[in-house]
Amino acid sequence: MAATDPLTILKESPLPFAGLLGIRFLSAAPDRVQAEMDVRAELCTNPPVLHGGAVMAFADTLGACATILNLRDGAGTTTIESKTNFFAPAPVGTKVTGECVPLHRGKRTMVWQTRVTSAEGRLLALVTQTQMVLEAR
């Protein structure tokens, strides 16, 4: 029997890149996905703070996973647009949390907003992305 709990679905069918980043899903529902990620040296720039591309990849993964939880059977998704505002750095050795919520969940596109925060709750980045729904072939 296939998993129906959204968190179980994400944990049982992990995305390879999410594993490389070290993303850990904390909660999942069709209207909210929350995850965390350790700021490791190999994800940093100089000075040793989380690279902007790693922040964007973290948020993109959450938006893709949130979309997956809203797809019809056999459908897929791909990111077609993403915008990030950076507000503060995340130093190596810390942890970031992402919370992804929908702005729009349509038949052809879904738009998600992800807040990336520090362990102390400080807003580090705000990412808005559009996912295209790919119909089953």
The count of structural domains within the chain is 1
Mean pLDDT of 86-91: 98
In a domain, 38, yes or no: yes
Q: Terminal CA-to-CA distance of the chain, rounded, Å? A: 24
In a domain, 46, yes or no: yes
Report DSSP letters for 85-137, one per residue. EE-S--BTT-EEEEEEEEEEE-SSEEEEEEEEEETT--EEEEEEEEEEEEPP-
pLDDT band at 4 (very low <50, low <70, confident <90, very high): confident
Question: How confident is the model at residue 3, as a pLDDT?
Answer: 62
pLDDT band at 103 (very low <50, low <70, confident <90, very high): very high
Q: Which residue has the tokens 């999942």?
A: 28
C-alpha R_g of the chain? 15
pLDDT band at 80 (very low <50, low <70, confident <90, very high): very high
In a domain, 15, yes or no: yes
From the CB of residue 83, how many other CB atoms can be counted at a distance below 10 Å? 11
pLDDT band at 13 (very low <50, low <70, confident <90, very high): confident
In a domain, 125, yes or no: yes
CATH no. for residue 40? 3.10.129.10
Q: Which residues constitute the domain of residue 93?
A: 6-134
In a domain, 18, yes or no: yes
Closest of 95, 100, 93 to residue 121, by C-alpha:
95
In a domain, 1, yes or no: no
Question: How high does pLDDT run on average in the chain?
Answer: 95
pLDDT one-digit tens code per residue, 44-74: 999 999 999 999 999 999 999 999 999 999 9
Is 90 exceeded by the pLDDT of residue 88? yes
Tell me if the pTM is above 0.75. yes
Closest of 126, 7, 109 to residue 56, by C-alpha:
126
In a domain, 94, yes or no: yes
